[in-house]
Structure 1
Amino acid sequence: MKYQKIEKETFAAIQIQKETINDALLFVGDVSLSEKELVDLTNSIEFKGVYVQTVRGPEKASIGDYIIKEDNSYSVMSGPFFESLYEKVSE
């Protein structure tokens, strides 16, 4: 026999993209940056990634990855893997 969860769990997540770096910062509770700081950070993330503090310690995230927020903690998941598991729901 096969079984399926009755209730689908929902959670908040944001994808790190060049155009949404400021939104990603606000999502994890950081402050908004000036235009120059934002450009510098975006360039740095493109080349080096950025570390997000998670319950397992710092996790590296890159452009295209998702930051997931559940119960006041964060995790990072690659974009293609996240998109293969989850679909966006209307609020």
Structure 2
Amino acid sequence: MEKKILSSKLVKTLVATMALCGMYDESGKTSIQIGIPSKSGVGGGVLSVVPNKYGIGLYSPLLNEKGSSIKSFEFLKELSGKFDLSIY
């Protein structure tokens, strides 16, 4: 039996916020090149959501000049392309 922890409305708001600004200065680039709503942290962690399918948690501490995880971005780009995961 499924138990909802968050309301559908809140989840939609969170995923939209991740897509719009979750990757800070690289949110637009992430949306275009990857298309998976994501939230990065300055320590190298990235949380991504493929709506109605699954979540992806990544960690790689090597950061670019904008503070985003280089390897996580590369992995998400490859994963999204290989399995057509972009929401756009």
- If the length of structure 2 is used for normalisation, what is the TM-score? 0.32
**With CA pairs under 8 Å and 6+ residues apart, which has the higher RCO, 1 or 2?**
1
Determine which structure has more spread, i.e. the larger CA radius of gyration. Answer: 1
- Higher strand proportion, which one? 1
- If the length of structure 1 is used for normalisation, what is the TM-score? 0.31
